[in-house]
Structures are given as structure tokens and as C-alpha cells.
Amino acid sequence: WPFHAPYVKAINDLKKVRGAVILAHNYMTPEIFHCVADIVGDSLQLAREAAKTDAKIIVQGGVHFMAETSKVLAPDKTVLIPDGAAGCSLAASITGADVRLIRKRYPGVPIVAYVNTSAEVKAEVDVCCTSSNAIEVVESFGVDRVICLPDQYLARWVAANSKVKILTWKGSCEVHERFTGAELEAYRAADPGIQIIAHPECPPDVIAAADFTGSTAKMIDFTRALPVGSRVVLVTECSMADNVATEAPGVTFVRPCNLCPHMKRITLPKILDSLLNLTQEVVVDPAVAAAARRSVERMIHLKN
Ligand code: 13P
Ligand code: SF4
């Protein structure tokens, strides 16, 4: 903390001078999440906030697809990402050209894209979803077959919780796919009272071993509601437990967790640099942004 303090003060001072807002995903490190972020949340909450902020500048504490989503929703604002190389294995797994081929192969079948995709992909699909609303979005079409891409595991989780037949893609999250059902069963065997809370980007055997599955925000809400003395495994990125620990002091967090190398590229020094030099600005082609905005706004306006 003493090392962080000068950065925290400089960022919070400069933020006011610049008229900037910092949107931070739940996977940001605690010094970002608790000390400089104006808004924290899951992908859906951050997209909603980007759409309604009055700030002139948005600094995205998160990965590139999140910054692109903010730019798509707030085209007149300056959107900055402190490290432009903060990518995502899901977003990297599919292109706009892939979606066009899928559309040709399955004419008339609605295509839902997880927000963990590029603006180019969002521009080609019918609607976006996040892990918070994927089931509702898929069911909103009222048809019996929907394509849900690019996360094969999120798609399988939706299929397991809906009557809609789901077609998907071969993408996966490099962080969540590393968890195994066997490791979680070992935690349960060692401590039968343990609460296992998983993200839907995990493989099916992990979700089968979990007591609750939901988006990062829903995982946090579930954890906060647990009684004092609970022991919890948050089957997700490591910063989640660090961030929620302050709000759930009566809960013991049992590892494992996995680090997202992309999220961890965002640091206090890089946020300060971003605000000082107004870098790195996220640019989305206006025609692509307009088409992507339709997909994201359709999701935001669905009741969920
Ligand atoms: P949510 O915060 O929407 O659950 O997404 C998790 C994630 O992996 C974002 O990169
Ligand atoms: Fe992408 Fe997974 Fe990292 Fe989220 S945690 S940004 S889905 S690689």
C-alpha cells in the first residue's frame, strides 16, 4: 500500500482535472478496484455505465473488448485503455468473417455474441449477451435454435439451463478452462461444508461440482449473502476473492484461483500514464461501431 499511495493520489487528482471516469472490472487488482475506480462491476454493469456516463473521458480498467464496448456505446467520448495489449482468448478466437460464414451456413438462425468479442464480431450478430443475461437473451428470440458464440462452455451452460438448442463455436477462456471438476471435488472431500461458486466460462465438470454458477457480479452477491464463518472457493480470476474479501469479512476464501494475464496488464502506473498522455485511445470504425451498437443496445434494453 505505501508504494501504491502516490499513484492513487495522482490518479484521483488528475481524474478530476481531466473530467475522466474509471470503469473497473471485478478482476482488477484491489488497489485499482478499491482506490481509483469510480464504477466497478461485471461486463454488463460496465457496459450500462459506459452508456450513461457524463464524463468526457472513460479510462477502462479491463481488457480491450471492454474498452471497445465503451467506445461503441459512447462514440463521442474519448475511451482510453492503459495497456492496448490487454486482450482475451475468447475475443481472439473469432472474427467477423467467421460470423459471416456461420450466417451463410445457418440462415435464419439468430446469432448471439458474448460481449467478450471484437466490435467487428458484434457488428455481425443479432444481439450480445454477458454471463449475467445469456439465458434470457437466448430465450428472448422465442425460437428453438440459437447460435451462441464464441465460448463453448458458456454455450453449454446456457443449453443446460434452457430448452433452446444451442449451436456454438470452439472458443474458451484461458483462465476458466484450467479449473477441473476433480480439483473441486478434492476441496469438497476435505471440507464438506465448503461453498463452491463458479463462473459459467468454466468447463461442465467444474459447473457440476459447484453450488452456484453466475457472472462475476452474481458470484459476489452470492458470497456477500453467505453467513459468517462460511468457507468459499471462488472458481474464477484471483482478484475476485481479494476484492470481495473486504465486504465479506466473515468469509474465508480458499484458493485455487487462476490469474488472467490480460487483466493483470492494467496497473496503477499505466492508468496514471494513460490519464497524463491520453493514451491509448480506442478507435472503432464508425460504421462498425454503429452496427455493433445495435447488438449491444438490444442486449442492454432487454429486461434482465
Ligand atoms: P463477467 O464479469 O461478465 O462475469 O465476465 C467475466 C470475464 O471473464 C470478463 O473478462
Ligand atoms: Fe478473457 Fe478469460 Fe481473461 Fe476474461 S478472464 S478477459 S474471458 S481470458
- Bridge partner list, 129: 114
User: Which DSSP letter does residue 178 get?
Assistant: G
CB atoms inside a 10 Å sphere around CB 138: 23
Mutate to test the pocket of ligand 2, among 81, 90, 257 (most ligand atoms within 8 A of CB): 90
Whether residue 239 sits in one domain with residue 115: no
Asked if the ipTM is above 0.90, the reply is yes
In this structure, the answer to whether residues 168 and 219 fall within a common structural domain is no
* 207 shares its domain with 254: yes
Q: At 68, list the grid cell.
A: 471497445
Domain count for the chain, please give it: 3
Instruction: Give the pLDDT confidence score for residue 154 in this predicted structure.
Output: 98
pLDDT, mean of residues 249-257: 92
CA dist 97 and 278 (Å) reads 32
Q: Are 225 and 206 in contact (CB under 8 A)?
A: no
The predicted-structure confidence for 127-164, as pLDDT tens digits, reads as follows 999 999 999 999 999 999 999 999 999 999 999 999 99
Residues 9 and 53 in one domain: yes
Do 33 and 80 sit in the same domain of this protein?
yes
Pick from 129, 262, 264 the residue to mutate for probing ligand 2's pocket: most ligand atoms within 8 Å of its CB. 262
Question: Is there a cis peptide before residue 280, judged by omega within 30 degrees of 0?
Answer: yes
Helix (H) or strand (E) holding 60: strand 57-61
Q: Tell whether the model's pLDDT for residue 304 goes beyond 60.
A: no
Helices 43-52/286-301 angle, 10° precision? 110
Nearest by Cα to 206 from 233, 235, 230, 229: 235
Q: For residue 150, report the distance from its CA to the centre of ligand 1, in Å.
A: 14
pLDDT number for residue 247: 87
Closest of 216, 291, 303, 208 to residue 257, by C-alpha: 216
pLDDT at 58 over 60: yes
pLDDT at position 1: 58
Ligand 1: centre distance to CA 131 (Å): 7
44 and 185 belong to one structural domain = no
pTM for the whole structure: 0.97
Whether residue 133 is found in the same domain as residue 180:
no
Q: Whose CA is nearest to atom 9 of ligand 1?
A: 43
Strands 212-213, 195-198: pairing kind: parallel
Largest pairwise CA distance in the chain: 58
Give pLDDT tens digits for 215-236.
999 999 999 999 999 999 999 9
SS3 percent helix, strand, coil of the chain, rounded to 5, is 45, 15, 40
Same domain for 79 and 95, yes or no, is no
The pLDDT of residue 2 is above 80: no
The answer to whether residues 75 and 216 belong to one domain is: no
3-state secondary structure of 246: coil
Residue 234 structural domain: 176-259
When the pLDDT of each residue in the chain is averaged and rounded to a whole number, the result is: 97
Q: Which amino acid is at 234?
A: L
Residue 255: is its pLDDT beyond 90? no
- Phi, psi for 2 (deg, rounded to 5): -60, -35
Q: What are phi and psi of 208, to 5 degrees?
A: -65, -30
User: Could you tell me the pLDDT band of residue 56, with boundaries at 50, 70 and 90?
Assistant: very high
Are 82 and 100 within one domain? Answer: no
One-character DSSP codes across 40-97: EE-HHHHHHHHHH---SEEEEES-HHHHHHHHHH-TTSEEE-S-TT---TTGGG--HH
Can you tell me the mean pLDDT for 237-255?
94
Q: Does residue 216's CB lie within 6 angstroms of at least one atom of ligand 1? A: yes
Does any ligand 1 atom lie closer than 6 A to the CB of residue 236? no
CATH of the domain at 77: 3.40.50.10800
* Residue 215: other Cβ atoms inside 10 A: 23
Which atom of ligand 1 is the closest one to the Cα of 116? 10
Say whether both 165 and 192 belong to one domain. no
DSSP H helical segments within 81-215, as ranges? Answer: 96-105, 119-122, 134-139, 152-160, 181-190, 204-209
Are 170 and 95 in a shared domain? yes
